[in-house]
Structures are given as structure tokens and as C-alpha cells.
A and B are shown apart, each in its own frame.
Chain A
């Protein structure tokens, strides 16, 4: 152990592009810590600042203010080639004039390893990404997936402390992406390297990450495990960006939630003890259509989606709510459009959104 709990510490980092009135704030005082050998994902829509943050860890951009530390040592002023950090680029950026094995050997040669050590490491890396038969090919003779694995092998070969992956799976087709997700997870466990992954794909983030940082508008919105991010989004942005969500407002009174004309949900539908007007988020699968439900409404649409069916319900107080039921063999539809229904909620189904007033 190196004595530091964190591999990367991002400390109050801001990044401003341009000058004067044309300046844009790409990152706004972001602080987060990434643990050693963690699969950490920066998740957000395009333009949220996640790639800027990644490029600052790699050294291609310098923070306007704040500091980035690796194993406790500040990276400020250190050029990209002076950092034990390697990147798998979105475009792969394989050297077209070099063969696959020469590409993989590049970083090792830069470290000044002797020829035999380089050859041995290249052979091992190519076996790891299952490209041993393609060592003598040039990048343009490979498929997208193979190129991606070369990029991965090239970045992993010098055994960096941190591997950065910039939207590295987005160019692949679905099947290949699924395979690569599994492979990346395996590589991360086997190599003991800290992975920092940038993506806009929430499913990718949820399936692969140990922890996720959701970013939006240059700000850090929430950091947590995939379960925390999904089940307990702290604000509207996170709840909206990840998964399906119904946004509702209600009045919290005691342990009950009152929805005006739509009725009330008693006993612990809200996970916290907040009182008064509240803004809420609820996942459709945490709600159900039930005779004994506390809320009333009319089904406005039924969407069959194979594994499940989504019911869009207009509550009696005018708010819209989504309810999802898993489909079982032989089971009939629970409701059709226009049916009057009642909705029940699991305990803790409603998540309080911070930073927002309840009823306007």
C-alpha cells in the first residue's frame, strides 16, 4: 500500500475556457476522490464537463483553479508524458504506421524497458485482449472492436497507476459493447489498476462501476454506488438522467404523503422525515397498480415493452405518474387506457429531491 486511501483526489477543480465575455465554465469547483483499484465512472450528458475532467487527469488540460493529486502527489504542472496515467481514447488513436504489436510496445519502449521485457509484456497483453493472432496486422486491417482492444492493450501495457477510458465503448455495436463491458471488468480486477471511465450511457455506468459520479452543467451532481445513484438520486437532474422517473409534488405530514385530490399514501412511502411541501421522484417499478392503493387516477397510456409493461397514469390532482409491472406468462393486462386505477407504493419508493421547493 502506498499509504493513501485514494488513488486520485480532485480538489476544488474549476476549468474555464476562453477569455472575457466569451469564457465558458466547463467545470465548476468539482471535488471527488477515487479509490485505488476502483472502477469509477464519470457519467453525464455531453458538455457536462466529464471529458474535460478526464483530460485534466491525463494532463492534456490544466485546471484553471484547484488541484489534482495522484497518490497524494500534486499533478499540477506535470506534462502528460510525466504522469503514470494512460488513456484509451474515444477514437482509439492507434498509430496507423505501426503494427498491432508495435502499438502495444510503444508505451513500454518509452519507459526504457529492454527488448526482451517489451516482447514478453506485449505477448502477455495481446493474449489478455485475445489478439495474439493479429500482432503483425496494422490497425486499419482490424474491426472496430479489435481496434478498441488494441487501444486497451496499448494503454494497459506500461501498467499505469490509473487507466482513463474516454467513451471508449460508444463506437461499438451493442453485442460487442456487452462483451467489452465484461472484459473491461475482468481486466480491472486482474490488473489492480484504477479505472476512470467516462460515458454518457447510464446502463454502461450502472453495470460496470464500483462508484459513479453524475455530472451535469460542469457541476458534480452526485457520487455513489450504482444502487445509491439509482435508488436515492439526490436531485432532479440525477433522477431524470438515470432511469425512468416520475416527478411529483406532495405534502409530507407525519409519516404520510398527501397528494391533494389524488389521495394520500400512509406509512413510510417517503424514506425521510421531511415535513411540508416536498418535491419527489419515484421509479415506476417501485409503484404498483393495486386495489388497496392510496392514490387514484386514470390510465392515459399503456406501453407494452416485452419484459414489462408501463402504465402512464394521470392522478386525480392532475400530476402524471408512471407505474411499471413485470410481465408474467399468461397474465392478463392489469388495466387498459381510460381505466380508473389505484396506485400503491413500496416503503421508501419516493425519494426526496433536495434544492427544490415543493408546491410552487
Chain B
């Protein structure tokens, strides 16, 4: 351990990773952290030497005309809505994704390969393009609207586009593969003889699923939830396009601060708050799933 050559070799081996992390992670984050405690400059940017906690205060309070602080829930509502939408997306993709993954895992080898290919086909096209496609589908007079109208079910105006519902639909569509694939991976490794053993001991199909398959798939489910929840929480262009850019979610709010609002410190502070919340979720996750089943 103490051998200087070993230490040097280890340092050299770690250097590329360390350097990458430092340049692309530590520096930007440090910059962001610093910005969040500065005063905004009038036309965007920051005053580099004017320290201020205003950005964090702004998240909670509004400054009244007489300079007194009054509680402002507008930003918290956006955070709450973001969490609800991301949470819904996670739940919905889980409910749709688990049976899908289970179905695929139960097929023979060739069918499985084909189905996985089908699941990954959407990745061949840019997500932005696919989101625009959803705009065409969802808008009033769009394919779904006129289709429903032709069946005599529509009232002429679907009124879904530019609502949280449209954002939720977009999330479920975009993130479903990120739920299916990790669950499939954990189910694929599953020893199905364990299910036979459960049947043998008197468990019916539902009990076997709940007591044996589900616990074994838990690491995959947890990974899928993370892969859906975190990107959904910070997602920007799905709510921007399908939600009509009405600052529906944190991502849009942050983008606004660096754009039209020209309040970089507030944008930085929002980013930091989001980061803190995601980290918190990660910590809860690792605590909860530390004793994951398996060897």
C-alpha cells in the first residue's frame, strides 16, 4: 500500500476519470453553486463580486413594495407539480412496463430478441422528433381528435395538448423503455424453477408473482424507477413542447431564469435545490435496496 510506485500507478490509472469528473462535473457545479449566491446582472449573467442569498430567499418569499417578505408558493407549486408528474410517469411506466417485461422474459430466446428489438426501435429516432409527432397526434384537429370525431366520440376539441395530461402522456411514452429494459434484465436472469417450487408449495400464480417473481425483480424495478423518475423530474423539452412552455416543470423554470427572466442566480439556486432533492431520493433508494436479494 505504502509503496510509492503503487500509489503512483493507482493515481495514473485514476487520472483520466478524475480529470473528466473534475472538468465536466466539479467545475460546472462549483460555478453553478457560486452563481447561486451572487447578484444577477441587469442583462443576464451575474455580478461576480456581489454575494447575496437573494436567490434562495426568492424561492420561498416575494419582496413586497415596502421591502417586507411575503410567502410565495408559486415556485413550490412548480416543484410539487414536477414531482407529481414525474411520480405519475414512474408509476404508470411501472404498471405498463412490468407486465411487458414479464411477458418478454417468458418467451423463447428468438421471440425475446425480437421483442427487445421492438422495444428499442424508438431509440432510432431523436426524442425531439418523436415529441413533435405527439404534438401532431394530440392537438385539436389532430389524428386522435379527428379519429375520435369520425367514430362519433369526439366533441370536436380534444383540448389535451398544452396541459399536464399531455406532458404525462409524453413522459409515459418516452420513458417506458427505460422501465421495461432493466426489469426485463432482472427477470431474464431469474431462475424459473423457483416459480415451479412456489407452485409446488401451493402458491397460485398471483402469490408466486408477489412472493417470488416480484422480490427477485426488485433491483430491476428500482433501477427502472430511478431511470424514469430522475430524467422526468428534470425534463425540459417534453413539458416545453407538450405543456406549452407554461413553466409547468422545474426544467422550464430553470431555463426561463437563464433565458427571458435573466436571473442567473435564481436559475442556479433552482438547479441546486433540484440536485439536493434528487440526491436525497438516491440516498433513500440505496438505504432501502441495500439488502437486495441475490448473492
Q: Which residues of A contact B (CB under 8 A)?
A: 58-60, 79-81, 85-87, 89, 91, 93-97, 106-107, 110-111, 140, 154-155, 158
Contact = CB atoms under 8 A, between A and B. Distances in A.
B202 A97 contact: no
A106 B294 contact: no
Contacts of A86: 200-201
A110 B202 contact: yes
A110 B295 contact: no
A95 B194 contact: yes
Contacts, number: 63
Nearest to A58: B200
B201 A158 contact: yes
A115 to B, nearest CB: 16
Nearest to A141: B295
B294 A87 contact: no
Interface of B: 191, 193-194, 196-204, 207, 211-212, 215-216, 293-295
B294 A96 contact: yes
B199 A80 contact: yes
Contacts of A60: 196, 199
A216 to B, nearest CB: 26
10 contacts: A60-B199, A80-B199, A80-B200, A87-B197, A89-B193, A95-B197, A96-B294, A97-B216, A106-B201, A106-B211
A137 B212 CA distance: 18
A97 B197 contact: no
A106 B295 contact: no
Given A80-B199, A110-B202, A93 B215 contact: no
Main DSSP-derived SS at the B contact region? helix
B201 A89 contact: no
A223 B200 CA distance: 27
A93 B196 CA distance: 8
Nearest to A102: B211
A155 B294 CA distance: 22
B293 A154 contact: no
Contacts of B191: 91, 93
Contacts of A140: 295
Contacts of A80: 196, 199-200
A89 B196 contact: yes
Given A96-B293, A96-B294, A140-B295, A87 B215 contact: no
Given A80-B196, A87-B197, A97 B294 contact: yes
B202 A158 contact: yes
Contacts of A97: 215-216, 293-294
A89 B293 contact: no
Contacts of B198: 95, 106
